[in-house]
Structure 1
Amino acid sequence: MGALDIATVARRAGIPASTLRYYEERGLIASIGRRGLKRVFAPGILERLALIVLGRQAGFSLDEIAAMFDARGMAAIDRDMLRAKADELDVLIRRLEAMRDGLRHAAACPAPSHMECPTFRRIVRAAASGALARGAGAVPRLPRTRSM
């Protein structure tokens, strides 16, 4: 497969050409020249873009992703960085699960008003204290029942 122009790369990668230009400006990717006015890229760009997209989906910053490539542009991913991100995701998952459980409880709560529900009031107090923004464990764990 020969060089790919920017429109082809954008279409195949599902990424706008403007994002490709931005990634090039940030040093995440590099074109290998031009065909007329269009940038062209080596075929390996699609795999590199897939790694960048995967990194973004996992929550890595562009600077962190840039550090995952060596001087030759080969993937050189720090395993400690991956473990640290996995730990961050664990915290986020716990917080989201607690929020999900709170929403389900609020939706199914038999109290006449949410403000009359002791569990919902604990969630509101946690939010008011800023505990929800600080991380997992801030939302009271709710009992799992089939009615939720």
Structure 2
Amino acid sequence: MRELDIGEVVRRSGVPASTLRYYEQLGLLQVLGRRGLRRQYHEQVLERLALIGLGQSAGLSLQQIGAAMPQEAGLALDRTALLARADALQRQIRGLQRVEDRLRRAAACPHAEDARRCASSA
């Protein structure tokens, strides 16, 4: 097991130290201890941070991310919750694609002076 101090975690992950401390308060990250004044993390913290970032980009709250990840250093995930979120995102994408198609058809509609005719053809 390799330990990383907070400075190395910041450098390698790009996540600010203040955010690491906040994630620690929320229980998303665990500190192994301290060496002097510097927090020490398990090397797997980098993988956890990547998963947190992925969850946030998928629109999950930090609480939802925390519920999907175990508290220990490992990375066993609540795959059911992640798949449910992926399915919800897929439905949202399909809905947005339908809206995009309608907007493009309306923009290309030759009946620009009659919005009702364009809307009915969209």
Same fold (TM over 0.5): yes
Deviations 1:54-111 (A, max 9, x none): 2222232222221223343322323322332122112211221022223322432323
Q: Is contact 1:6-1:39 (8 Å) kept? A: yes
- In the alignment, which residue of structure 1 is the partner of 2:45? 45
Is 1:68–1:75's contact at 8 Å kept on the other side of the alignment?
A: no
Structure 1, gaps ≥5 residues long: 123-139, 143-148
Normalised to the residue count of structure 1, the TM-score between the two structures is 0.66
For residues 104 and 79 of structure 1, the distance between their equivalents in structure 2, rounded to whole angstroms, comes to: 37
Residue in 1 aligned with 2:116? 118
Q: CA offset at residue 2 of structure 1?
A: 4.3
Specify the alignment match of 2:65 in structure 1. Answer: 65
Q: CA RMSD in A?
A: 2.6
8 A contact 1:52–1:65 mirrored in 2: yes
**By how many angstroms is 1:120 displaced?**
5.6
1:124-135 aligned at under 5 Å gives the runs: none
> If the length of structure 2 is used for normalisation, what is the TM-score?
0.77
Uncovered stretches (5+) of structure 2, i.e. residues with no partner: none
Distance in 1, matches of 2:11 and 2:63, equals 25
Between the aligned residues of both structures, percent identity stands at 48
What is the distance in 1 between the residues matched to 2:101 and 2:117? 11
Q: Which amino acid aligns with 1:92?
A: Q
Any conservation in 2 of the 1:102–1:120 contact (CA below 8 Å)?
no
Greater per-residue helix proportion? 2
> Is the Cα contact below 8 Å between 2:24 and 2:30 reproduced in 1?
yes
